[in-house]
Amino acid sequence: MIEKPDWGPLATYAPNKTEPVHNWFYYKESFSKQLVMKVLNLFGAREGNLVLDPFCGVGTTMLACKEMGIDSVGFDAHPLAVFVSRVKLRDYHRGEILREMDRILESKFVKPKLLIKNKILKRGFPKHSLEEIIFYRDLIMQARDKDVRDFLLLGLMNVAMRCSYINKDGAVIKIKKRKNIPLPRKVLKNQFERMLKNLDRIKFQRSRVRADFGDARKLGLTDNVADFIITSPPYLNKREYEKIFSIEQGLFLDMVGFGSYSDYIGSDIRELEKDSAKLLNVLGDETNKLPKTANAYFMDMFQAIEEMYWVCIPGAKVAVVVGNGCFPTRVVDSDVILSKIAESVGFRAKRILVLNKRWCTKKRTKKVGIMRESLLLWEK
Protein backbone atom coordinates (compact mmCIF):
# COMPACT_ATOMS: atom_id res chain seq x y z
CA MET A 1 0.00 0.00 0.00
CA ILE A 2 1.52 3.29 -1.13
CA GLU A 3 0.22 6.80 -0.49
CA LYS A 4 -0.31 8.77 -3.72
CA PRO A 5 -2.17 11.94 -2.66
CA ASP A 6 -1.03 13.91 -5.71
CA TRP A 7 -3.33 11.71 -7.82
CA GLY A 8 -6.20 12.23 -5.34
CA PRO A 9 -8.04 15.00 -7.21
CA LEU A 10 -7.78 12.95 -10.41
CA ALA A 11 -10.04 10.27 -8.92
CA THR A 12 -12.93 12.77 -9.10
CA TYR A 13 -14.99 14.32 -11.89
CA ALA A 14 -13.66 17.84 -11.09
CA PRO A 15 -10.79 17.99 -13.65
CA ASN A 16 -13.26 16.96 -16.40
CA LYS A 17 -15.22 20.19 -15.94
CA THR A 18 -12.80 22.06 -18.18
CA GLU A 19 -12.21 19.21 -20.64
CA PRO A 20 -14.11 19.42 -23.93
CA VAL A 21 -16.70 16.67 -24.44
CA HIS A 22 -15.75 15.07 -21.08
CA ASN A 23 -17.78 17.90 -19.52
CA TRP A 24 -20.99 17.20 -21.43
CA PHE A 25 -22.61 15.48 -18.48
CA TYR A 26 -21.92 15.82 -14.77
CA TYR A 27 -21.65 12.31 -13.38
CA LYS A 28 -20.56 12.69 -9.80
CA GLU A 29 -18.98 9.25 -9.60
CA SER A 30 -16.70 9.69 -12.63
CA PHE A 31 -12.94 9.75 -12.44
CA SER A 32 -10.97 12.14 -14.63
CA LYS A 33 -9.56 11.85 -18.12
CA GLN A 34 -6.15 12.71 -16.63
CA LEU A 35 -6.23 9.68 -14.34
CA VAL A 36 -7.00 7.40 -17.29
CA MET A 37 -4.15 8.93 -19.30
CA LYS A 38 -1.69 8.52 -16.42
CA VAL A 39 -2.67 4.85 -16.08
CA LEU A 40 -2.42 4.29 -19.85
CA ASN A 41 1.11 5.73 -19.73
CA LEU A 42 2.02 3.69 -16.64
CA PHE A 43 0.82 0.54 -18.42
CA GLY A 44 2.66 1.45 -21.65
CA ALA A 45 -0.57 1.21 -23.70
CA ARG A 46 -0.19 1.85 -27.41
CA GLU A 47 -2.00 1.68 -30.73
CA GLY A 48 -3.41 -1.78 -31.38
CA ASN A 49 -4.12 -2.51 -27.69
CA LEU A 50 -7.65 -2.98 -26.39
CA VAL A 51 -8.76 -1.32 -23.15
CA LEU A 52 -11.89 -2.54 -21.37
CA ASP A 53 -14.01 -0.65 -18.83
CA PRO A 54 -16.70 -3.00 -17.47
CA PHE A 55 -18.25 -0.19 -15.33
CA CYS A 56 -17.80 2.60 -17.86
CA GLY A 57 -20.21 5.22 -16.46
CA VAL A 58 -20.26 8.15 -18.87
CA GLY A 59 -17.33 6.83 -20.90
CA THR A 60 -14.30 8.64 -19.43
CA THR A 61 -11.98 5.69 -20.06
CA MET A 62 -13.09 5.23 -23.65
CA LEU A 63 -13.02 8.94 -24.48
CA ALA A 64 -9.47 9.25 -23.10
CA CYS A 65 -8.48 6.17 -25.13
CA LYS A 66 -9.99 7.71 -28.25
CA GLU A 67 -7.88 10.82 -27.65
CA MET A 68 -4.80 8.61 -27.46
CA GLY A 69 -5.68 6.41 -30.46
CA ILE A 70 -6.20 3.24 -28.42
CA ASP A 71 -9.12 0.85 -29.03
CA SER A 72 -11.59 0.54 -26.18
CA VAL A 73 -14.87 -1.01 -25.17
CA GLY A 74 -17.05 -0.18 -22.20
CA PHE A 75 -20.20 -1.49 -20.55
CA ASP A 76 -22.61 -0.09 -18.02
CA ALA A 77 -25.87 -1.29 -16.53
CA HIS A 78 -27.29 2.23 -16.43
CA PRO A 79 -29.19 3.26 -19.57
CA LEU A 80 -28.42 6.94 -19.08
CA ALA A 81 -24.68 6.29 -18.67
CA VAL A 82 -24.62 4.27 -21.90
CA PHE A 83 -26.59 6.97 -23.73
CA VAL A 84 -24.19 9.70 -22.56
CA SER A 85 -21.11 7.59 -23.38
CA ARG A 86 -22.34 6.97 -26.90
CA VAL A 87 -23.13 10.62 -27.55
CA LYS A 88 -19.67 11.64 -26.31
CA LEU A 89 -17.86 9.00 -28.34
CA ARG A 90 -19.44 9.50 -31.76
CA ASP A 91 -18.02 11.29 -34.78
CA TYR A 92 -20.45 13.90 -36.07
CA HIS A 93 -21.35 15.63 -39.31
CA ARG A 94 -21.59 19.22 -38.20
CA GLY A 95 -23.63 20.33 -41.23
CA GLU A 96 -26.53 18.10 -40.21
CA ILE A 97 -26.35 19.28 -36.58
CA LEU A 98 -26.42 22.92 -37.70
CA ARG A 99 -29.39 22.29 -40.01
CA GLU A 100 -31.40 20.65 -37.23
CA MET A 101 -30.36 23.34 -34.74
CA ASP A 102 -31.72 26.03 -37.03
CA ARG A 103 -34.97 24.17 -37.56
CA ILE A 104 -35.44 23.70 -33.82
CA LEU A 105 -34.39 27.14 -32.64
CA GLU A 106 -36.43 28.94 -35.31
CA SER A 107 -39.65 27.01 -34.63
CA LYS A 108 -42.45 29.03 -33.15
CA PHE A 109 -43.39 27.89 -29.66
CA VAL A 110 -46.60 25.87 -29.48
CA LYS A 111 -47.77 24.95 -26.01
CA PRO A 112 -47.65 21.16 -25.70
CA LYS A 113 -50.24 19.14 -23.80
CA LEU A 114 -48.68 18.13 -20.50
CA LEU A 115 -49.67 14.59 -19.65
CA ILE A 116 -47.17 14.19 -16.86
CA LYS A 117 -48.16 12.24 -13.78
CA ASN A 118 -44.73 12.04 -12.16
CA LYS A 119 -44.84 14.34 -9.11
CA ILE A 120 -41.15 15.20 -9.06
CA LEU A 121 -41.36 16.26 -12.68
CA LYS A 122 -44.31 18.51 -11.99
CA ARG A 123 -42.79 20.09 -8.90
CA GLY A 124 -39.27 20.13 -10.30
CA PHE A 125 -39.84 22.77 -13.01
CA PRO A 126 -41.59 26.08 -13.42
CA LYS A 127 -44.63 25.16 -15.57
CA HIS A 128 -43.61 27.26 -18.55
CA SER A 129 -40.06 25.85 -18.54
CA LEU A 130 -41.37 22.30 -18.56
CA GLU A 131 -43.62 23.19 -21.48
CA GLU A 132 -40.68 24.63 -23.40
CA ILE A 133 -38.52 21.59 -22.62
CA ILE A 134 -41.18 19.23 -23.92
CA PHE A 135 -41.76 21.42 -26.97
CA TYR A 136 -38.03 21.30 -27.83
CA ARG A 137 -37.75 17.62 -27.00
CA ASP A 138 -40.54 16.76 -29.43
CA LEU A 139 -38.87 18.85 -32.14
CA ILE A 140 -35.55 17.11 -31.51
CA MET A 141 -37.25 13.72 -31.75
CA GLN A 142 -38.19 14.62 -35.34
CA ALA A 143 -34.52 14.90 -36.38
CA ARG A 144 -33.80 12.59 -39.31
CA ASP A 145 -30.42 11.39 -38.13
CA LYS A 146 -30.39 9.40 -34.88
CA ASP A 147 -26.88 10.52 -33.90
CA VAL A 148 -27.81 14.16 -34.36
CA ARG A 149 -31.01 13.60 -32.39
CA ASP A 150 -29.06 12.10 -29.47
CA PHE A 151 -26.50 14.93 -29.55
CA LEU A 152 -29.25 17.54 -29.33
CA LEU A 153 -31.15 15.57 -26.67
CA LEU A 154 -28.07 15.52 -24.45
CA GLY A 155 -27.77 19.28 -24.90
CA LEU A 156 -31.42 19.76 -23.95
CA MET A 157 -30.99 17.43 -20.96
CA ASN A 158 -28.30 19.74 -19.57
CA VAL A 159 -30.42 22.80 -20.22
CA ALA A 160 -33.46 21.18 -18.58
CA MET A 161 -31.55 20.61 -15.36
CA ARG A 162 -30.27 24.20 -15.33
CA CYS A 163 -33.81 25.49 -15.82
CA SER A 164 -35.30 23.42 -13.00
CA TYR A 165 -35.72 23.56 -9.23
CA ILE A 166 -33.92 20.24 -8.96
CA ASN A 167 -30.99 19.94 -6.66
CA LYS A 168 -29.09 16.67 -6.54
CA ASP A 169 -27.75 16.20 -3.06
CA GLY A 170 -25.79 12.97 -2.80
CA ALA A 171 -28.21 10.15 -3.48
CA VAL A 172 -31.41 12.19 -3.26
CA ILE A 173 -33.26 14.62 -5.49
CA LYS A 174 -34.33 17.77 -3.68
CA ILE A 175 -36.71 20.41 -4.99
CA LYS A 176 -35.52 23.90 -4.14
CA LYS A 177 -37.64 26.73 -5.51
CA ARG A 178 -35.38 29.57 -6.63
CA LYS A 179 -35.85 32.79 -8.51
CA ASN A 180 -34.07 33.84 -11.70
CA ILE A 181 -33.97 30.42 -13.32
CA PRO A 182 -33.28 30.94 -17.03
CA LEU A 183 -35.88 29.98 -19.61
CA PRO A 184 -34.82 27.02 -21.78
CA ARG A 185 -35.17 29.03 -25.00
CA LYS A 186 -32.67 31.59 -23.67
CA VAL A 187 -29.90 29.07 -23.04
CA LEU A 188 -30.46 26.26 -25.55
CA LYS A 189 -28.66 27.89 -28.49
CA ASN A 190 -25.66 28.63 -26.33
CA GLN A 191 -25.55 25.04 -25.06
CA PHE A 192 -25.62 23.57 -28.58
CA GLU A 193 -22.95 26.02 -29.76
CA ARG A 194 -20.72 25.19 -26.81
CA MET A 195 -20.97 21.48 -27.58
CA LEU A 196 -20.14 22.12 -31.23
CA LYS A 197 -17.09 24.20 -30.24
CA ASN A 198 -16.00 21.33 -27.99
CA LEU A 199 -15.93 19.06 -31.02
CA ASP A 200 -13.37 21.40 -32.59
CA ARG A 201 -11.30 21.52 -29.42
CA ILE A 202 -10.99 17.80 -28.77
CA LYS A 203 -8.45 15.90 -30.87
CA PHE A 204 -9.13 12.26 -31.61
CA GLN A 205 -6.70 9.72 -33.05
CA ARG A 206 -7.94 6.84 -35.16
CA SER A 207 -9.27 4.00 -33.01
CA ARG A 208 -12.24 1.72 -32.55
CA VAL A 209 -14.59 2.32 -29.65
CA ARG A 210 -17.84 0.88 -28.35
CA ALA A 211 -20.17 1.59 -25.42
CA ASP A 212 -22.82 -1.00 -24.60
CA PHE A 213 -25.40 -1.94 -22.04
CA GLY A 214 -24.08 -4.76 -20.03
CA ASP A 215 -23.61 -6.41 -16.71
CA ALA A 216 -19.98 -6.51 -15.60
CA ARG A 217 -20.60 -9.98 -14.16
CA LYS A 218 -21.37 -11.45 -17.58
CA LEU A 219 -20.02 -9.29 -20.36
CA GLY A 220 -20.43 -11.69 -23.25
CA LEU A 221 -16.93 -10.95 -24.61
CA THR A 222 -14.64 -13.73 -25.79
CA ASP A 223 -11.83 -14.81 -23.46
CA ASN A 224 -8.33 -13.30 -23.75
CA VAL A 225 -9.17 -10.08 -25.58
CA ALA A 226 -8.37 -7.17 -23.29
CA ASP A 227 -4.81 -5.90 -22.91
CA PHE A 228 -5.81 -3.55 -20.11
CA ILE A 229 -8.73 -2.80 -17.85
CA ILE A 230 -9.23 0.68 -16.41
CA THR A 231 -12.37 0.90 -14.37
CA SER A 232 -14.18 1.99 -11.25
CA PRO A 233 -17.07 -0.11 -9.89
CA PRO A 234 -19.79 1.35 -7.69
CA TYR A 235 -18.44 1.94 -4.20
CA LEU A 236 -19.77 -0.20 -1.38
CA ASN A 237 -22.79 1.37 0.32
CA LYS A 238 -23.10 4.19 -2.20
CA ARG A 239 -26.23 3.74 -4.27
CA GLU A 240 -26.31 7.11 -5.94
CA TYR A 241 -27.00 6.40 -9.55
CA GLU A 242 -30.23 4.48 -9.21
CA LYS A 243 -32.73 7.24 -8.47
CA ILE A 244 -30.74 10.35 -9.04
CA PHE A 245 -31.23 10.36 -12.82
CA SER A 246 -34.91 9.40 -12.82
CA ILE A 247 -35.88 12.84 -14.20
CA GLU A 248 -33.53 12.61 -17.18
CA GLN A 249 -34.62 9.02 -17.71
CA GLY A 250 -38.34 9.85 -17.60
CA LEU A 251 -38.19 13.01 -19.68
CA PHE A 252 -35.71 12.02 -22.35
CA LEU A 253 -34.75 8.38 -22.45
CA ASP A 254 -37.87 6.29 -21.97
CA MET A 255 -39.10 7.54 -25.32
CA VAL A 256 -35.84 6.74 -27.11
CA GLY A 257 -36.37 3.14 -26.08
CA PHE A 258 -33.61 2.82 -23.51
CA GLY A 259 -34.16 0.04 -21.00
CA SER A 260 -34.34 0.21 -17.23
CA TYR A 261 -31.67 -0.15 -14.62
CA SER A 262 -31.74 -3.44 -12.75
CA ASP A 263 -28.37 -5.16 -12.59
CA TYR A 264 -26.82 -2.89 -10.04
CA ILE A 265 -23.83 -4.39 -8.25
CA GLY A 266 -24.67 -5.36 -4.68
CA SER A 267 -28.40 -4.73 -4.94
CA ASP A 268 -29.58 -8.32 -4.72
CA ILE A 269 -29.15 -9.29 -1.10
CA ARG A 270 -30.88 -12.67 -1.68
CA GLU A 271 -27.89 -13.83 -3.68
CA LEU A 272 -26.03 -14.14 -0.39
CA GLU A 273 -26.99 -17.67 0.51
CA LYS A 274 -26.55 -19.17 -2.92
CA ASP A 275 -22.89 -18.82 -3.50
CA SER A 276 -21.20 -17.49 -0.38
CA ALA A 277 -18.68 -20.37 -0.09
CA LYS A 278 -16.29 -18.68 -2.51
CA LEU A 279 -16.24 -15.51 -0.48
CA LEU A 280 -15.83 -17.51 2.72
CA ASN A 281 -12.77 -19.16 1.20
CA VAL A 282 -11.13 -15.82 0.52
CA LEU A 283 -12.17 -13.86 3.57
CA GLY A 284 -12.62 -16.61 6.14
CA ASP A 285 -14.30 -15.48 9.33
CA GLU A 286 -14.35 -11.86 8.14
CA THR A 287 -17.33 -12.79 5.92
CA ASN A 288 -19.55 -13.34 8.95
CA LYS A 289 -18.55 -10.02 10.47
CA LEU A 290 -19.41 -8.02 7.36
CA PRO A 291 -22.77 -6.24 7.07
CA LYS A 292 -25.19 -8.15 4.79
CA THR A 293 -25.07 -5.51 2.11
CA ALA A 294 -21.27 -5.75 2.07
CA ASN A 295 -21.43 -9.49 1.51
CA ALA A 296 -23.83 -9.05 -1.39
CA TYR A 297 -21.53 -6.40 -2.86
CA PHE A 298 -18.42 -8.56 -2.61
CA MET A 299 -20.18 -11.59 -4.04
CA ASP A 300 -21.21 -9.55 -7.09
CA MET A 301 -17.73 -8.08 -7.34
CA PHE A 302 -16.33 -11.60 -7.12
CA GLN A 303 -18.23 -12.49 -10.28
CA ALA A 304 -17.19 -9.25 -11.97
CA ILE A 305 -13.51 -9.85 -11.14
CA GLU A 306 -13.70 -13.44 -12.41
CA GLU A 307 -15.19 -12.08 -15.62
CA MET A 308 -12.36 -9.52 -15.86
CA TYR A 309 -9.86 -12.32 -15.44
CA TRP A 310 -11.25 -14.37 -18.32
CA VAL A 311 -11.47 -11.51 -20.78
CA CYS A 312 -7.88 -10.38 -20.05
CA ILE A 313 -4.96 -11.68 -22.08
CA PRO A 314 -2.13 -13.28 -20.05
CA GLY A 315 0.07 -10.43 -18.80
CA ALA A 316 -2.83 -7.93 -18.95
CA LYS A 317 -2.76 -5.05 -16.48
CA VAL A 318 -5.76 -3.88 -14.51
CA ALA A 319 -6.45 -0.61 -12.68
CA VAL A 320 -9.48 -0.33 -10.40
CA VAL A 321 -10.45 2.86 -8.57
CA VAL A 322 -12.54 2.09 -5.51
CA GLY A 323 -13.56 3.61 -2.19
CA ASN A 324 -13.97 1.82 1.10
CA GLY A 325 -17.40 1.34 2.64
CA CYS A 326 -18.74 3.46 5.50
CA PHE A 327 -21.10 1.77 7.99
CA PRO A 328 -22.38 3.07 11.35
CA THR A 329 -20.07 0.78 13.30
CA ARG A 330 -17.09 0.30 11.02
CA VAL A 331 -15.24 1.01 7.81
CA VAL A 332 -15.05 -1.90 5.36
CA ASP A 333 -11.75 -1.98 3.49
CA SER A 334 -12.99 -2.71 -0.03
CA ASP A 335 -9.55 -1.99 -1.51
CA VAL A 336 -7.95 -4.81 0.50
CA ILE A 337 -10.88 -7.21 0.12
CA LEU A 338 -11.15 -6.72 -3.67
CA SER A 339 -7.40 -7.27 -3.99
CA LYS A 340 -7.74 -10.53 -2.04
CA ILE A 341 -10.57 -11.62 -4.32
CA ALA A 342 -8.46 -10.70 -7.36
CA GLU A 343 -5.61 -12.88 -6.10
CA SER A 344 -7.99 -15.76 -5.48
CA VAL A 345 -9.21 -15.71 -9.09
CA GLY A 346 -5.65 -15.68 -10.46
CA PHE A 347 -4.54 -12.05 -10.72
CA ARG A 348 -1.40 -10.86 -9.01
CA ALA A 349 -2.38 -7.90 -6.84
CA LYS A 350 0.67 -5.67 -7.22
CA ARG A 351 -0.13 -2.44 -5.41
CA ILE A 352 -2.77 -0.40 -3.66
CA LEU A 353 -2.16 3.29 -4.33
CA VAL A 354 -4.04 5.33 -1.73
CA LEU A 355 -5.35 8.41 -3.52
CA ASN A 356 -7.70 9.99 -0.98
CA LYS A 357 -8.64 9.61 2.67
CA ARG A 358 -11.90 10.79 4.18
CA TRP A 359 -13.68 10.42 7.51
CA CYS A 360 -16.48 7.91 7.67
CA THR A 361 -19.02 9.40 10.07
CA LYS A 362 -22.18 8.22 11.76
CA LYS A 363 -25.09 10.65 11.32
CA ARG A 364 -22.57 13.14 9.94
CA THR A 365 -21.13 13.86 13.39
CA LYS A 366 -19.54 10.85 15.09
CA LYS A 367 -16.28 9.73 13.52
CA VAL A 368 -16.23 6.00 12.80
CA GLY A 369 -12.90 5.70 11.00
CA ILE A 370 -10.85 6.68 7.99
CA MET A 371 -11.98 5.55 4.52
CA ARG A 372 -9.51 5.21 1.72
CA GLU A 373 -10.13 5.75 -1.96
CA SER A 374 -7.55 3.68 -3.77
CA LEU A 375 -6.23 2.65 -7.15
CA LEU A 376 -5.71 -1.10 -7.22
CA LEU A 377 -3.14 -2.45 -9.66
CA TRP A 378 -3.37 -6.09 -10.72
CA GLU A 379 -1.74 -8.24 -13.36
CA LYS A 380 -2.90 -11.46 -15.00
Where along the sequence are the contacts to ligand SAM (CB under 6 A)?
27, 29-31, 55-58, 60, 75-78, 81, 214-217, 232-234, 241, 263-265
* 348-362 sheet: strands from edge to edge: 2-3, 348-362, 366-379, 312-323, 226-231, 50-53, 71-76, 209-213
Decide if 69 contacts 206 (C-beta within 8 A): yes
Q: Residue 323 CB, nearest distance to ligand SAM (Å)?
A: 9
Q: Indicate the residue among 30 and 293 with the shorter CB distance to ligand SAM.
A: 30
Q: What whole-number distance in Å separates Cα of residue 230 and Cα of residue 54?
A: 8
Q: Indicate the residue among 124 and 234 with the shorter CB distance to ligand SAM.
A: 234
Decide if 202 contacts 64 (C-beta within 8 A): no
Q: Indicate the residue among 132 and 150 with the shorter CB distance to ligand SAM.
A: 150
3-state secondary structure of 126: coil
Q: Residue 36 CB, nearest distance to ligand SAM (Å)?
A: 8
Q: Indicate the residue among 87 and 216 with the shorter CB distance to ligand SAM.
A: 216
Q: Indicate the residue among 264 and 327 with the shorter CB distance to ligand SAM.
A: 264
Q: Residue 241 CB, nearest distance to ligand SAM (Å)?
A: 5
Closest residue to ligand SAM, judged by C-beta, is 57
Q: Residue 175 CB, nearest distance to ligand SAM (Å)?
A: 24
Q: Residue 192 CB, nearest distance to ligand SAM (Å)?
A: 23
Decide if 213 contacts 76 (C-beta within 8 A): yes
Decide if 191 contacts 16 (C-beta within 8 A): no
Per DSSP, what are the bridge partners of residue 352?
A: 376
The three-state (H, E, C) secondary structure of 151-199, written as one string: HHHHHHHHHHHHCCCEEEECCEEEECCCCCCCCHHHHHHHHHHHHHHHH
Q: Residue 263 CB, nearest distance to ligand SAM (Å)?
A: 4
Going by C-alpha positions, the residue among 226, 241, 238 that lies closest to residue 61 is 226
Q: Indicate the residue among 217 and 372 with the shorter CB distance to ligand SAM.
A: 217
